[in-house]
Structure 1
Amino acid sequence: MAKQAPFKNLDPATAGDARRKGSDPHELDQSMEVMLSYIYASLPDFPLYDGRRLPPALAAPDGADRLTRLPRELRRKIVSRLPVKDAARTAALSWRWRTIWHSTPLVLIDAHLLPKGQGFPPTYSTSSPPVAAAVSSILEAHPGPFSCVHLVCSRMGAHRAQLARWLQLLAAKGVQDLVLVNRPWPRDVPLPATLLSASTLTRLYLGLWKLPGAAALRGASLPHLRELGLCCVEMEHGDIDSLVARSPVLEILNILACFKGLRLRLVSQSLRCLQISGGIMENVAVVKAPNLERLILYGCCSPGGGLCTRVRIGDAPKLHTFGYLEPVHVLEIRDTIIMPGMKASTRTMLTSVKILSLNVRFGVRNDVKMVPTFLRCFPNVERLHIMSQKCDKPTAGNLTLKFWEDSGPIDNIVSRVNTVSLREFKGEPGEVGFLEFLFRSARVLKTATIVMANPSFTPFLKDVAFSKVRRSSRNMASKSCEVHVLGSNGPDGGEVWSFKTGADFSFQDPFSVAEVLGRC
C-alpha cells in the first residue's frame, strides 16, 4: 500500500476523531486545503519588493556603498518594502542604518518567517511554533506603527494566549492594514474582542474565526475602516450589520463562504461595493445604501428546506453594476417581488444599473422564462454578461428563437445594449436561440464576445459550436458589431470570482472578459 501524504491541516487528535466517526481524515484535510486556497486567493496583496535583482546599470561600478548616503526618509521607504527579516537585518549594515527599522512603520508578512525551504502554504508540522514565536518577538520589539500585518500561517487554536497578546499589541501600536487567518483545526477559534478596539484599522480581513459575541460587536468602533473581508467566518445573524453600522467610512465589504445562512440587512451611507461569494445565502436586503455602486453575488447557494435566496433592492440610487443574478433568486425591487411574465413599471425598475450579469441554465424552462422579465427590470443596461450554467437535467424543451420572439421586444436589448458576453458556451439549443434573438434585435451592439466552455471538463464539439455562432450572426441588426469567439482553459463552470477584480474601481466593467484579461 502506498504511503499517504502527511496532513496539511489536521492535527493527530482531529484525524483520529474523524476516523472514529467513520470519516476519511484525508478527505477532510483536502477539503480544508481547498477552502484555504479560496481564502488566500481572496486576500489583498501586500506592499513588498518582489525580490527581483536590480539591473547592472543601477549597481555601483566601484562597489561603493551609495545606499547609505541616501536621505534618511528614502532609506526608510526602502526598509518598509523589504520582507521583515531583511528589514531587521539592515540594522547590522552600519550605524546610519541602526535606527531605521525601528523608526519605519512595520510591514510584517508571517509567510516570510517560515523555515528555510518551506513553501507556502505551510503544512501542519511546519507552520505554528516557529512562526508564532517569531511573530511574538517582532511585535514586542517594534514600537509601531504597524502599517501592514498579514498573519496567515499559524494554528491559532494552539496559541490563544499569544493571539490575545498580538491583538493587544496591534491595537496599541496603531495597526492599519491587518489580515488574520487561522490555520484549521478548529476552524471556529473565538476571535478576542480586543481586535475591535483597533481604531486605526483601515483594512481588515479575517479568515476561519468565530466573531466575538453581540455585546462585543455593539461596543466596537472602527472609525477609519474602509475595507472589510470576512472569509469562512462563524457569525450570528446581525453580526455583519453591527460591524457595518460601526464603520462609518466603510466602502468595500467582501464576504466569502458563510457557513450559516447569511441574512444581511444593509444600511450604510458610505458603502460602494458589496461582494458575496460562495456559501449559503438566505436574504440580502439593501435597505438604504445611497452610495452603493456594485452588488456582486457569486456562487451562493440557497439554504435547505426548499427556501430560495432572496435579494431585495430598496434604496440604492447609484447602483451601477449588478451580478451574478440568477433565476433561482427571488428578486424584490422596493416592495415588489419580480415574477416571470409580469409587466415592468416604475416600481419594478432599477434605472441606475448599466452593467448586468446573469447566470442562466438555458436547459431549464423556468430559468429562461425569467430572463426577459429580469432584463425589463433594468431598462438602461448597456453592457450585458451571461454565464451559461451547467444543466444536469434539462427541462426546457425547444427554447429556440421563436420563444424569444413570442416573449416580445426587450427595449434595452433593442436600443441600449452595446456590449455582450456569453460565457461557457457549448452550442446547446437554448444558448443558440438566445444568441439568434440577441443578434437580430440589438441595433446598437458593438462588441459580442462568446467564450467556449473548456472541453476538458464539458464534452461538446467546438467546431460545431463555433459554426452555430457564425450562423447566428448572419442576420445582425447592428452592421458595426464585432464578434469574438474565444476558448477557455479555465475550470468547469468558469473561473472563480475574484474580490480584487470586483473592488477595483479602475475596472469600468468587472464582468468584462476583454477588460480583465487585458490586465493579466
Structure 2
Amino acid sequence: AHPGPFRCVHLTGSCTEESRHLLGPWLQLLAAKAVQELVLVNRRRPLDVVLPATFLRTATLTRLHLCFWKFPSTAGLPPGVSFPNLRELGLYSVVVEGRDLDFMLDRSPVLETLCLEGNLFTLRLRLVSQSLRCVQIIGSFLEEIFVVNAPLLERLINLEGWTHEAGCTKVKIGHAPKLQLLAYLQLDTRNHVLEIGNTIIKAGTKVSPRTMVTSVTVLALEVRFGVRNDAKMIPSVLGCFPNVETLYIKSGQPDQSTGKLNQKFWHDSGAIECIRSRIKRLIFHDFQGGRSELAFLKYFVESALMLKQVVILLSTGSTLPAEEVHSKMANVKRAGEISIALVTGYSELQGRYKRGSEFSLGELFSLMKFPCANY
C-alpha cells in the first residue's frame, strides 16, 4: 500500500444513498494518507446525496473541488476542525447552506480562491476573510454578495448570474481596499442592486468619497440599452469607480424597449471622471447596433481623453450590418489617437475559472485572434 502522503486524488462516480457508506471509509483513508488536492465528482442526479462529513477532518488539504453533492452540515463539529492549508475551494452544483459556507471561509485562514458554479438555490454570500484574493461566481443565483471585510480581495467575478422571477441580487461592497477587478455588475433596476458602503446606487445618485471604490481598475457592466432606466444608471455607477482603466460593457437584450437615450442625454449628464481622464480601453460585447448603443459609444469616443483602444464585438442578432457600423464609427470625432476594432466573429471564452484566478493576468478577458476591421 502507498504510505502517503497523497498529493492529488480525483474520484468520479455515481454515488447513491445505498453506496454512500463506501465513500466514508475512502475519505477516512485519504485523510489518514494526508491528501493535499481532492476532487470529488458525483454523476448522480438529483443533488440529494449528502457528502460524508469525513473530508471536513482532512487538515492537509490545499485544494478541494466538489461537484454534484449536497454539502454536509457543519453544525456540531468540534471547535478544532479547520483547514489550515486550504488555498483553493470550488463548489460546482453543490447544495450548500450559507452557514456551512461561512464555516469553510472562517476555518480556512489561507484560502485565496473561491469558486461557486451552478448554484440553483437561494444563498447569501458574506465574504469575511483575511486571505481571499479571488472570488468567482458562475451561473448561480445569489440573493446577496456582501464583501464585508476582505482586505486582500483583488477580483470579484460574477458571470452568467440569474434571478428568480420575483427575486433580486444585491452586490454590496464594504471593506475591500485592494479590489482591482469587478465583473459583471448588471444594471437591471428590477432584479439587481448595487450598494457601496451604506448607499444604494441609483440613477442620479450623487458621488461622494463614501460611494467610491478607488482601487478598481478593471470593471465590467451588463446594460440593457433599450431600457431607459437601466441605461440612465451608467453615469452614477461609473462615478463610483473613478480610476477604471479598462471597461467591459455587455449589451443585454431587453424584454421590451422602454425608450432610447440620445447623445444629448449623455452630454447633459456632465463629465464622468473615469471616461474623461482614466479609461484607456473599452470592449463592447454583444453590440446590437441600436440607437442608444451608438449614442453612448459616440459620446464615449468623443469624451475619453486617455482612450487608446475600442473593441466592438458584434452580436449575432445585430440590427446593423458590420459595414454600416464601420461607416458610422469612422466619422465620429475622436478625443485622441484611438484605435477602433470591429469584431465580426468571436469564440466563447474558455477556462473561465482558471483564468479568473491567475493573479499574474492583467485583466479578466483577453482577445483571441478575431476577424476584425481596424480603422
Superposition TM-score, scaled by structure 1 size: 0.67
In 1, Cα distance between equivalents of 2:370 and 2:50? 37
Partner of 2:261: 399
Q: Which letter maps to 2:28?
A: Q
**Counterpart for residue 350 of structure 1:** 213
1:200 is aligned, of 44, 60, 63, to 60
Q: Cα gap change, 1:459/1:483 in structure 2, threshold over 3 Å: closer, same or farther? A: closer
User: CA distance change for structure 1 residues 473 and 240 in 2, over 3 Å: closer, same or farther?
Assistant: farther
Q: How does 1:420-439 map to 2 (within 5 A)?
A: 420-439=282-301
Distance 1:379 1:187 in 2: 43
1:149-298 residue pairs with structure 2 within 5 A?
149-215=9-75, 219=79, 220-298=81-159
1:449 to 304, 307, 311: 311
Structure 2 distance, partners of 1:324, 1:432, is 21
1:430-489: CA deviation from partner (whole Å, max 9, x where unpaired): 211111111111111111111112x3xx364433xx422442343343432111111235
Count of matched residue positions in the alignment of Structure 1 and Structure 2 = 367
Q: Which has the higher contact order (CA 8 A, sep 6+)?
A: 2
Q: Do the aligned residues in 2 keep the contact of 1:387 with 1:423 (CA within 8 Å)?
A: yes
Following superposition, the deviation at residue 253 of structure 1 comes to 0.4
Q: After superposition, where does 1:37-76 map in structure 2 within 5 Å?
A: none
Which range is displaced more, 149-158 or 415-424? 149-158
Q: Is the 8 A contact 2:69 2:93 kept in 1?
A: yes
- SS of the aligned residue for 1:408 comes to coil
Q: 1:153 to 1:470 in 2, by over 3 A?
A: farther
In structure 2, give the amino acid aligned to 1:269: Q
Q: In the alignment, is residue 467 of structure 1 matched against residue 324 of structure 2?
A: yes
Fraction of identical pairs, as percent: 47
1:213 is displaced (CA, Å) by: 1.1
In structure 1, the gaps of 5 or more residues are 1-140
Please name the residue that 1:513 is paired with.
367
* Selected match of 1:375 from 238, 241, 252: 238
TM-score, length basis structure 2: 0.92
User: Quick one: distance in 1 between partners of 2:154 and 2:88?
Assistant: 15
| Cross-structure match for 2:250 | 387
- After superposition, the Cα gap between the structure-2 partners of 1:476 and 1:238, relative to the gap in structure 1 and judged at 3 Å, is farther
Find the partner of 2:194 among 328, 331, 344: 331
Deviations 1:15-63 (A, max 9, x none): xxxxxxxxxxxxxxxxxxxxxxxxxxxxxxxxxxxxxxxxxxxxxxxxx
Q: In 2, distance between residues paired with 1:312 and 1:265?
A: 10
**Greater helix fraction, Structure 1 or Structure 2:** 1
Number of the residue aligned with 1:341: 204
Find the aligned partners of 1:380 and 1:153 in 2 and give their Cα distance: 48
Contact residue 417 and residue 442 of structure 1 kept, 8 A = yes
For the Cα contact (< 8 Å) 1:188–1:209, is it kept in 2? yes
Q: Name the SS of the counterpart of 1:225 in structure 2.
A: coil
Which structure shows the higher strand fraction?
2
Q: Is 1:144 equivalent to 2:4 in the alignment?
A: yes
Mapped partners of 1:428, 1:158: distance in 2:
57
One-letter code aligned to 2:321: K
1:201–1:222 Cα contact (<8 Å) kept: yes
Once residues 507 and 243 of structure 1 are traced to their aligned partners in structure 2, the CA distance between those partners, rounded to angstroms, is 27
Q: Larger radius of gyration, structure 1 or 2? A: 1
Cα 1:233–1:171, aligned 2, differ >3 Å: closer, same or farther? Answer: same
Superposed CA offset, 1:375-425 (max 9, x none): 000001111010111223121x23122221121111110110001100111
1:209-254 Cα distance to aligned partner (Å, 9 max, x none): 1111132566531100000001111122222111000000000000
Structure 1 position 161, deviation (Å): 2.0
- In 2: Cα distance, 1:487 partner to 1:516 partner: 8
Could you list the runs of 5+ residues in structure 2 that have no partner in the other structure? none
Alignment of 1:284-323 (within 5 A): 284-304=145-165, 306-323=166-183
Question: C-alpha displacement at 1:275, in angstroms?
Answer: 0.9
1:415 pairs, out of 277, 297, 303, with 277
Q: CA 1:459–1:352 in 2, change beyond 3 Å: closer, same or farther?
A: closer
Report the Cα distance in structure 1 between the residues aligned to 2:225 and 2:330, rounded to whole angstroms: 19
| CA–CA separation in structure 2 for the residues paired with 1:276 and 1:257 | 8
Q: Is the 8 A contact 2:45 2:68 kept in 1?
A: no
Q: Deviations over 1:254-287 (max 9, x none)?
A: 0112222110111100000111111211011111
